[in-house]
Structure 1
């Protein structure tokens, strides 16, 4: 279990993390979401020892993370953390060796991962000659090649095409099935919604929402309805009290319903305007919950 316990960090008079607490359980994919500048990368760097917290602890299996335990972490920074002038295989072997993997084993694993993720490269290509997507794949392999006990990944899907996204998602799910806790940040909320067991949303350095996607949806309420009518005026919904039109596509409108307004009243109003083709609740997407949670953020 990876645990952040009231972690605080400031740079000068700017408070970047404000007593951040969260837990990533064994075998769990935890989506760490927030606007740019919310504190996600700072939290990850503290977990990896790149930065030091002003207060609080990061613990692994109940003990503060130290240099020895970090050797068993797999970390993928958002910025390129590899050497542009080295070949991918050479540096993958090098990084594996830093975590105690023997050279022969590291070479075999590097070739297996390169083939599995479909990294396109020539035998003498240095990293800088690869496409950005292939560089991203190599960066992921560097975080996996030592078979880590924990994964901390900052925007791992950035710059990947849909096929590569699916391949990387399969890799993360495979590590989760082995019991590896995985914390990853991403602005691709559709992927977070699809993959993650739980999601934490951070705003201005503090966790403002956390839970499974279903739990977050329930906490956001069920205040939207989708209704499709035929034979109704285009602006029929504007005359219904207690609702606000969120979207309109052809005959279908999405309505945000005020608290306390019964759905039956809206249904009756719709039926009085035209022939009902569809009536149902619209569950908020994670993107909707995210926007609501980060509203008022400084950046």
Structure 2
């Protein structure tokens, strides 16, 4: 008994004899092998090929260097920084960065170098945040001053204010520039006007030639509820100081002083009468 020829053979014979070829039946595929269906593995946070501009360092896990070696690393980094060699600074500090326990100075100095490059934004922000999280008694005023400058550029203004306060606390005689820097940062933060005004007054005490510090302190304090009387005293003192040297500023200053005075002493309203600024009620239109 003859067996039927396979469909593919029939198609070939038909084509050879000049007939129309018959396509073979489709083959059923049970499992797809298309590349689009293969999902990539999750990214390993410890991957050495991570991007420093967007990926922070991995979680802390390795132990810190022994105290002697840590001191040597910090000293080597300080010498390299003095020589202006950022590459050597980085190489000296990497062994003590992101370790347990944390070294505030190591991570702060490393952050200051990394912050110079936009390609290390995530790393530098990570180390800046960890460096300012603790007040290291071994870190001096210069360290916190440089840290404050980097935090302002980050920008991390609340942290920059903390760094400046730590710098000032370490200085036997803070300069006007120190108090002015703190005032500028505080003015960029909500509800810190009173602190900024106090810092400006301290700056004026250090440099009385800068009368603008006095005027700005009074203006800031006038915006703080309950501090209007103090603001008025400062603004009047400022007016007297510039009365002969900067008379062109007097009209605007007098207007501001009048506003503060009006806020402190609103006009009395007789019982049963509406305030002068209140709108009269319109009579009802009869229907």
Which structure has the highest strand share of the two? 1
Which structure has the highest helix share of the two? 2
Structure with larger RCO (C-alpha < 8 A, sep 6+)? 1
Q: Same fold (TM over 0.5)?
A: no
Q: Determine which structure has more spread, i.e. the larger CA radius of gyration.
A: 2
- TM-score normalised to structure 1 length: 0.29
